[in-house]
């Protein structure tokens, strides 16, 4: 009978799972859209084909912004997206993508995995039957594409810009007009002048989108998105139905994805920026110091106002800002000092 | 199990032929088939669970917001009798010219097409107004019904056009998919505005072809287009100008603002609709009651279009669930002759489907299935979009099921035999095939204007 | 039979009144879109909530208008064969469609959308855009609303079909009776 149980167990362990993953990006979109494909390939290889994941790009099964609901209901077992898209459902979710003047990728990963961030994230998603995992990071983004020069705060007045999240709120405070636009309309709107500026990701993705054809000025750095975490969300019931080894494979593959995307952006942004400046004559510009100070001051006011509205947000913000304070202090004498020394 | 997807397609077509409203036939038949699939264990039911998410995706799609606005504009124009005044003035202006009535009808059709996005109303209006006049002046029944049906459907391809708005939405996502699949990491987006720009030159060529044909017929077969007597000694400049003003204003407002880059198609549609309202008010055609009728007509057309989109979403979810996508990819991958054969086959299939389906169904059901494959073979998205639009316009005219023919039959006098309508449209179908051949040979006809406007 | 008559009349009226009221939103959409363009280009003003308001109206128009368009037979049919059917066959096709196509689809949408919308209400879902409208749960409620209204119109159309078939049968019976007597 012992033999029987063993064969029963091994039968269960040999069961193959066919899962669906919905994403918020077009399939194979450079960087963010490639990550889900690589993740699925890794999982299939590591599990020896026992967990097969079929990827559906934005719009194939559901629109990009329906990923959360589709996985929450269990219609798809997994999703790849970004937490700040769900701020209409969970205001605190935006901290788990990134916030203006917040932490960079390295620091955010530290907070998530060793600073209590993950636990808070899991708590937020628990009522929705979702398990979140960090599964990608774009690194520091650039400030975006502008049709005219931005020399002072006055130039932001009346500026129509596609910029999501808290960054948009800051722009609004300073007299600009944050505009809501789908990715597909972005280019045409910038070209037609329906908007004056847009942010996207960084040189690698921005080159791909062809923004240089529509705007002359490319500003740095991405004050509004010092890093952006991409998330893997897994339906809780589906996850718990997996044998322990497959669960671990999913977790480790997500962790690998998280690092892999950052590595890819680190490698590709350099060449893309060179191409933009040298081949497409993009005017690369730095935001004025005074302007940056104003943006930062406004950001602090905005976040205090937002956090006061929502206790969950306050809780996450306290943890986030505590960690940031400590990380910044140490990084001032390590990372930053080294960057400066290296350039001497 | 992929062959089940094919059976499903045939099953849906059969249900459609019964004549129950298309939107619900699409959705209902797909659902029945999904149920069968679940029963025999060949279908993962979570696919249809995504329907509410899909419907919500349709609701918040900002590109499609242009549809009710363009429909509203078209209905207002119809109610303010712009077409009637224009036809009158044109006919007077062209009296005494060879094929005068035919040419004036073509010009009116072109102006209306360029200021509105819906097709049916134009055929009906022109049929009611000019068919009796043409017959009275001794124009042959064939030529008269042919030119009216053909010019009445120009609105399909001459922008602004609802067909191009819907195609634009579908083609742009297909194009993105196709490029990324090819590993092209600088995918160029394609917008409704680009399709509008791309359709301008082919539209004008078509108008030119119609006029050349009319002129040629008048020269070589004067029996079917006899010369008319001049009705007035003086050229009716004033009435012509005042009749031309409303469409010209709208064309500048809508097409001008899109092509010059001042507005997105949705914004331009809103501005154009307001412009049309002002024109109707100036002509004293706008009462509270008329406005209510305009709103209700707009509601009906919009609801019809979007319900088909919802039905097509369910169809596509079930089709995907059965692995239909892979089936289509395999079919195209194994096709000898590459992109040319593939395009020809797709165009032929669409033309045939155009006999039984409306352009909306074809746009939502068929184009999303085939366009990514064709575009991945390297076709230009604007070119493909315009080819599809012209192709579907052709199928509207093709007997016995062309929609334009039904509209015309509905308003034509009983003395006009249906056979005459069928015979009359054949030369015009031929002219449209000529246009498609020209576009196939010189793709630049469709790509030059959008490239000049959007990529300079 | 009487029940069917009453049912048909009242349900039709409900859908009609709702449809005719909702229709006015198309006019407001036109004006607001024009206003948005004017404000943006003329005065450098713009609000995301205003953009979203127009989008909400757009969604309401077709989601709530579908049933009225159905009542008025405004949904396209493939009418190659349908147009040549007798009145009786047409009613039979419609009866078949109401029972096997319209009702299953409406019920399915209502059923599947229930949790989807309930969750949205539960968390009082707001716009994903900064400065957007905080009424996403109302917007999503249009999905079950649409299927409910379709079912109501479906019951009315169903009653109408039965009544019409009944009348046709009666007329033929009368004729047959006359033929016998004559
Ligand atoms: Na960004
Ligand atoms: Na048109």
Q: Is residue C13 less than 8 Å (CB to CB) from chain B?
A: no
pLDDT exceeds 80 at position B121 = no
Please report, for residues A163, A186, A213, A273, the alpha-carbon distance to residue A218 in angstroms, rounded to integers and kept in the order given.
15, 16, 12, 10
Confidence of residue C176 (pLDDT cuts 50, 70, 90): low
Which residues of chain A have a CB within 8 Å of the CB of C59?
none
pTM, rounded to two decimals: 0.85
Q: Which chains touch A (3 or more CB pairs under 8 A)?
A: B, C
pLDDT at B229: 62
Q: Which residue has the higher pLDDT, B95 or A320?
A: A320
CB A55 within 8 A of CB A27: yes
For residue B361, the distance in angstroms to the closest alpha carbon of chain C comes to 10
pLDDT exceeds 50 at position C41 = yes
pLDDT at B411: 79
Q: Which residue has the higher pLDDT, A298 or B415?
A: A298
Helix, strand and coil content of chain B, in percent to the nearest 5, comes to 80, 0, 20
Which residues of chain C have a CB within 8 Å of the CB of B292?
20, 23-24
pLDDT at A155: 92
pLDDT at A10: 60
Q: Is residue C143 less than 8 Å (CB to CB) from chain A?
A: no
Q: Which residue has the higher pLDDT, A62 or C24?
A: C24
Window 177-206 of B: residues touching A by CB (8 A cutoff) are 177, 180-181, 183, 185-189, 191-194
Ligand showing the shortest atom-to-Cα distance for residue B393: 2
Give Cβ neighbours of residue B106 (< 8 Å, ≥ 6 apart). B147, B151, B207, B210, B211, B214
Q: Which residue has the higher pLDDT, B326 or A322?
A: A322
Average pLDDT of every residue of chain C: 88
Instruction: Please write the tens of the pLDDT for every residue from A287-320.
Output: 989 999 999 999 999 999 989 989 999 999 999 9
- Locate tokens 């939405």: which residue? B169
Which residues of chain C have a CB within 8 Å of the CB of A69?
116, 119
Expressed in angstroms and rounded, the spacing between residue A88 Cα and the centre of ligand 1 is: 18
Please report, for residues B30, B92, B109, B133, the alpha-carbon distance to residue B87 in angstroms, rounded to integers and kept in the order given.
46, 9, 9, 11
Query: Averaged over B95-117, what is the pLDDT?
Result: 81
Q: Which of A222-236, B6-20, B250-264, B372-386 has maximum average pLDDT?
A: A222-236
Give Cβ neighbours of residue A222 (< 8 Å, ≥ 6 apart). A140, A141, A142, A143, A144, A199, A202
Instruction: Please write the tens of the pLDDT for every residue from A58-101.
Output: 878 888 889 999 999 999 999 999 998 898 899 999 999 999 99
Which residues of chain C have a CB within 8 Å of the CB of B293?
none
Q: Which residue has the higher pLDDT, B185 or C54?
A: C54
Instruction: Please write the tens of the pLDDT for every residue from A89-129.
Output: 999 999 999 999 999 999 999 999 999 999 999 999 999 99
pLDDT above 90: percentage of residues in chain B: 20
CB B192 within 8 A of CB B265: yes
Expressed in angstroms and rounded, the spacing between residue B442 Cα and the centre of ligand 2 is: 23
b/e string for C101-112 if b means 16 or more Cβ within 10 A?
A: bbbbbbebbbeb
Q: Is the ipTM of this complex over 0.90?
A: no
Query: Averaged over A21-46, what is the pLDDT?
Result: 89
Edge-first strand listing for the sheet containing A229-235: A51-56, A17-23, A78-81, A229-235, A130-137
pLDDT at B350: 86
Nearest CA in chain C to A306: C130
pLDDT at A1: 45
Confidence of residue C140 (pLDDT cuts 50, 70, 90): very high
Question: Worst-scoring range by mean pLDDT, B229-233, B294-298, C171-175?
Answer: B229-233
pLDDT above 70: percentage of residues in chain B: 93
pLDDT exceeds 60 at position C181 = no
Which residues of chain C have a CB within 8 Å of the CB of B294?
26-27
Query: Averaged over C76-83, what is the pLDDT?
Result: 79
Ligand showing the shortest atom-to-Cα distance for residue B70: 2
For residue C147, the distance in angstroms to the closest alpha carbon of chain A comes to 20
**What residues form DSSP beta bridges with A219?**
A144, A285
Expressed in angstroms and rounded, the spacing between residue A225 Cα and the centre of ligand 1 is: 6
Query: Averaged over A314-337, what is the pLDDT?
Result: 95
pLDDT exceeds 90 at position B139 = no
pLDDT exceeds 80 at position B370 = yes
Cβ atoms within 10 Å of B329's Cβ, excluding its own: 14
Nearest to B193 among A75, A182, A192 (CB): A192
In chain B, how many H helices and how many E strands?
Answer: 23, 0
Residues with CB under 5 A from ligand 1 (ion): A 141, 199, 225
Q: Is residue C91 less than 8 Å (CB to CB) from chain B?
A: no
Assigned token pair, A55: 């990827």
Separation CA B330–CA A143 (nearest Å): 43
CB B145 within 8 A of CB B424: yes
Separation CA A214–CA B455 (nearest Å): 8
For residue A122, the distance in angstroms to the closest alpha carbon of chain B comes to 24
Q: Which chains touch C (3 or more CB pairs under 8 A)?
A: A, B
Expressed in angstroms and rounded, the spacing between residue A99 Cα and the centre of ligand 1 is: 11
Instruction: Please write the tens of the pLDDT for every residue from B178-192.
Output: 776 666 655 566 778
Q: Which of B88-97, B107-116, B143-152, C141-150 has maximum average pLDDT?
A: C141-150
Interface with A, mutate which of B185, B193, B318, B376 (most A CBs under 10 A):
B185
CB B112 within 8 A of CB C66: no
Assigned token pair, C128: 């994903």
Interface with A, mutate which of C54, C56, C130, C135 (most A CBs under 10 A):
C130
Question: Worst-scoring range by mean pLDDT, A132-136, A189-193, B199-203?
Answer: A189-193
Expressed in angstroms and rounded, the spacing between residue B112 Cα and the centre of ligand 2 is: 7
pLDDT exceeds 90 at position B334 = no
pLDDT at B205: 94
pLDDT exceeds 90 at position A149 = yes
Residue B24 phi/psi, 5° resolution?
-80, -30
Interface with C, mutate which of B14, B22, B24, B281 (most C CBs under 10 A):
B24
Q: Is residue C154 less than 8 Å (CB to CB) from chain B?
A: no
Beta strands A283-286 and A197-198 are unpaired
Contact C102 B304 (CB under 8 A): no
Separation CA B32–CA A317 (nearest Å): 50
Separation CA C126–CA A203 (nearest Å): 32
Separation CA A70–CA A149 (nearest Å): 42
Instruction: Please write the tens of the pLDDT for every residue from A251-284.
Output: 999 999 999 999 999 998 999 999 999 988 999 9
Separation CA A99–CA B385 (nearest Å): 41
pLDDT exceeds 80 at position C12 = yes
Average pLDDT of every residue of chain B: 84
Question: Worst-scoring range by mean pLDDT, A293-307, B125-139, B296-310?
Answer: B125-139
Q: Is residue C20 less than 8 Å (CB to CB) from chain B?
A: yes
Give Cβ neighbours of residue C141 (< 8 Å, ≥ 6 apart). C117, C120, C121
Ligand showing the shortest atom-to-Cα distance for residue B157: 2
Chain A residues within 8 Å of chain C (Cβ atoms): 65, 69, 72-73, 85-91, 128, 157-158, 160, 164-166, 168-169, 172, 177-180, 194
pLDDT exceeds 60 at position A213 = yes
pLDDT at B232: 58
Confidence of residue B254 (pLDDT cuts 50, 70, 90): confident
Separation CA B383–CA B438 (nearest Å): 12
Assigned token pair, B228: 């008319």
pLDDT at B309: 86
Query: Averaged over B325-342, what is the pLDDT?
Result: 79
Confidence of residue C120 (pLDDT cuts 50, 70, 90): very high
Nearest CA in chain C to B13: C78
Q: How many residues are present in chain C?
A: 182
DSSP A155: G
B323-327 CB contacts, 8 Å cutoff, 24+ apart: B323/B1, B323/B2, B323/B5, B324/B2, B324/B5, B324/B6, B324/B8, B324/B9, B324/B369, B325/B369, B326/B2, B327/B2, B327/B3, B327/B5, B327/B6
**What residues form DSSP beta bridges with A198?**
A145, A162
pLDDT at A2: 47
Q: At what angle do helices B66-79 and B82-93 cross, to 10 degrees?
A: 60
pLDDT at A184: 60
Instruction: Please write the tens of the pLDDT for every residue from B417-449.
Output: 888 888 999 999 999 999 999 999 998 888 888
pLDDT at A262: 94
B430-437 CB contacts, 8 Å cutoff, 24+ apart: B431/B150, B431/B206, B431/B209, B431/B210, B431/B213, B432/B150, B432/B206, B432/B390, B432/B393, B432/B394, B432/B397, B433/B394, B434/B209, B435/B202, B435/B205, B435/B206, B435/B209, B435/B390, B436/B347, B436/B387, B436/B390, B436/B391, B436/B394
CA-closest candidate to residue A132, choices A314, A42, A258, A265: A258
Instruction: Please write the tens of the pLDDT for every residue from C94-110.
Output: 999 999 999 999 999 99
Nearest to B59 among C37, C63, C85 (CB): C63
Nearest to C128 among A85, A158, A194 (CB): A85
Expressed in angstroms and rounded, the spacing between residue A199 Cα and the centre of ligand 1 is: 6
Query: Averaged over B136-141, what is the pLDDT?
Result: 84
Contact B28 C105 (CB under 8 A): yes
pLDDT at C175: 65
Expressed in angstroms and rounded, the spacing between residue A163 Cα and the centre of ligand 1 is: 7
Instruction: Please write the tens of the pLDDT for every residue from A172-203.
Output: 899 888 876 656 667 777 877 778 999 888 89
Instruction: Please write the tens of the pLDDT for every residue from B150-165.
Output: 988 888 888 888 888 8
Query: Averaged over B285-309, what is the pLDDT?
Result: 90
Interface with A, mutate which of C40, C115, C116, C128 (most A CBs under 10 A):
C128
Query: Averaged over B363-370, what is the pLDDT?
Result: 84
Confidence of residue A135 (pLDDT cuts 50, 70, 90): very high
């Amino acid at each position: 009978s012992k033999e029987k149980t063993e064969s029963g167990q091994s039968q269960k362990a040999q069961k193959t799972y066919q899962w669906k993953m919905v994403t918020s990006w077009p399939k194979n979109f450079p960087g963010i859209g490639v990550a889900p494909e690589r993740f699925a390939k890794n999982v299939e290889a590591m599990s020896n084909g026992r967990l097969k994941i079929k990827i559906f790009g934005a719009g194939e099964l559901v629109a990009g912004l329906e990923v959360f609901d589709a996985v929450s209901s269990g219609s798809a077992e997994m999703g790849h997206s970004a937490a700040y898209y769900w701020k209409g459902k969970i205001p605190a979710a935006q901290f788990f993508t990134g916030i203006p003047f917040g932490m960079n990728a390295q620091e955010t990963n530290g907070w998530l995995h060793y600073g209590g961030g993950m636990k808070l994230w899991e708590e937020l998603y628990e009522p929705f039957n979702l398990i979140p995992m960090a599964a990608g990071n774009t690194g520091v983004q650039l400030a975006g594409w502008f049709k005219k020069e931005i020399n002072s705060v006055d130039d932001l007045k009346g500026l129509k810009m596609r910029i999501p999240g808290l960054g948009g709120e800051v722009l609004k405070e300073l007299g600009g007009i944050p505009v809501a636009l789908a990715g597909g309309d972005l280019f045409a709107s910038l070209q037609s002048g329906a908007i004056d500026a847009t942010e996207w990701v960084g040189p690698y993705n921005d080159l791909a989108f062809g923004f240089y054809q529509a705007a002359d000025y490319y500003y740095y750095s991405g004050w509004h998105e010092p890093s952006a975490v991409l998330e893997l969300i897994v339906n809780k019931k589906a996850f718990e139905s997996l044998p322990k080894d497959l669960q671990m494979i999913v977790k480790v593959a997500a962790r690998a994805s998280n690092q892999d995307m950052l590595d890819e952006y680190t490698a590709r942004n350099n060449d893309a920026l060179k191409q933009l400046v040298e081949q497409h004559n993009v005017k690369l510009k730095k935001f004025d110091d005074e302007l940056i100070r104003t943006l930062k001051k406004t950001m602090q006011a905005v976040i205090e106002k937002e956090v006061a509205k929502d206790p969950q947000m306050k809780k996450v913000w306290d943890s986030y800002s505590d960690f940031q304070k400590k990380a910044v202090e140490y990084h001032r004498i390590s990372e930053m000092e080294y960057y400066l020394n290296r350039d001497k | 199990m992929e062959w089940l997807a094919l059976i499903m397609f045939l099953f849906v077509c059969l249900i459609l032929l019964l004549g129950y409203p298309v939107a619900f036939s699409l959705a209902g038949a797909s659902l029945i088939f999904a149920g069968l699939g679940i029963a025999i264990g060949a279908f993962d039911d979570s696919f249809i669970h995504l329907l509410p998410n899909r419907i919500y995706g349709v609701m918040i799609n900002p590109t499609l917001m242009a549809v009710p606005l363009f429909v509203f504009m078209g209905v207002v124009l119809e109610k303010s009798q712009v077409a009637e005044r224009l036809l009158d003035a044109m006919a007077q202006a062209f009296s005494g010219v060879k094929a005068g009535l035919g040419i004036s009808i073509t010009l009116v059709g072109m102006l209306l097409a360029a200021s509105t996005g819906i097709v049916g109303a134009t055929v009906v209006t022109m049929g009611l107004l000019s068919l009796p006049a043409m017959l009275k002046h001794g124009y042959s029944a064939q030529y008269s019904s042919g030119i009216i049906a053909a010019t009445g459907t120009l609105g399909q391809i001459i922008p602004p056009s609802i067909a191009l708005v819907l195609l634009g939405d579908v083609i742009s996502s297909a194009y993105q998919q196709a490029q990324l699949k090819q590993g092209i990491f600088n995918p160029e987006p394609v917008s409704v505005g680009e399709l509008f720009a791309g359709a301008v030159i082919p539209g004008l060529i078509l108008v030119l072809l119609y006029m050349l044909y009319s002129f040629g017929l008048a020269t070589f077969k004067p029996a079917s287009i006899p010369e008319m007597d001049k009705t007035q000694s003086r050229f009716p400049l004033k009435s012509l100008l005042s009749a031309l003003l409303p469409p010209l204003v709208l064309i500048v407002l809508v097409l001008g603002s899109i092509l010059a880059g001042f507005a997105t198609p949705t914004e331009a549609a809103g501005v154009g609709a307001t412009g049309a309202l002002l024109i109707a008010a100036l002509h004293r055609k706008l009462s509270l009651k008329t406005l209510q009728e305009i709103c209700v007509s707009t509601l009906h057309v919009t609801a019809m279009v979007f319900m088909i989109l919802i039905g097509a979403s369910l169809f596509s979810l079930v089709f995907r669930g059965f692995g239909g996508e892979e089936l289509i990819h395999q079919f195209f991958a194994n096709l000898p002759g590459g992109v040319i054969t593939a395009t020809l086959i797709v165009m032929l299939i669409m033309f045939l489907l155009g006999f039984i389906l409306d352009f909306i169904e074809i746009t939502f059901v068929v184009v999303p299935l085939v366009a990514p494959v064709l575009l991945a073979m390297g076709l230009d998205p604007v070119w493909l979009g315009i080819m599809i639009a012209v192709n579907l316009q052709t199928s509207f005219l093709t007997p016995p099921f062309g929609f334009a023919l039904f509209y015309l039959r509905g308003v034509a006098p009983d003395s006009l035999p249906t056979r005459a309508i069928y015979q009359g449209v054949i030369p015009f179908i031929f002219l449209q095939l000529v246009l498609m051949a020209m576009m196939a040979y010189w793709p630049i006809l469709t790509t030059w204007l959008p490239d000049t406007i959007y990529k300079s | 039979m009487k029940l069917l008559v009453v049912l048909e009349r009242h349900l039709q009226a409900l859908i009609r009144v709702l449809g005719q009221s909702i229709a006015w939103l198309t006019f407001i959409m036109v004006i607001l879109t024009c206003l948005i363009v004017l404000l943006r280009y003329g005065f450098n003003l713009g609000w995301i909530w205003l953009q979203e308001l127009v989008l909400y109206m757009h969604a309401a128009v077709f989601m709530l208008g579908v049933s009225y368009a159905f009542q008025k037979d405004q949904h396209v049919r493939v009418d190659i064969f349908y147009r040549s059917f007798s009145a009786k066959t047409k009613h039979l096709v419609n009866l078949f469609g109401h029972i096997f196509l319209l009702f299953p689809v409406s019920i399915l949408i209502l059923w599947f959308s229930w949790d989807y919308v309930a969750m949205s209400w539960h968390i009082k879902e707001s716009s994903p855009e900064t400065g957007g409208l905080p009424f996403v749960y109302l917007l999503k409620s249009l999905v079950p609303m649409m299927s409910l209204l379709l079912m109501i119109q479906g019951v009315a159309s169903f009653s109408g079909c039965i009544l019409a078939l009944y009348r046709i049968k009666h007329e033929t019976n009368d004729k047959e009776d006359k033929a016998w007597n004559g």
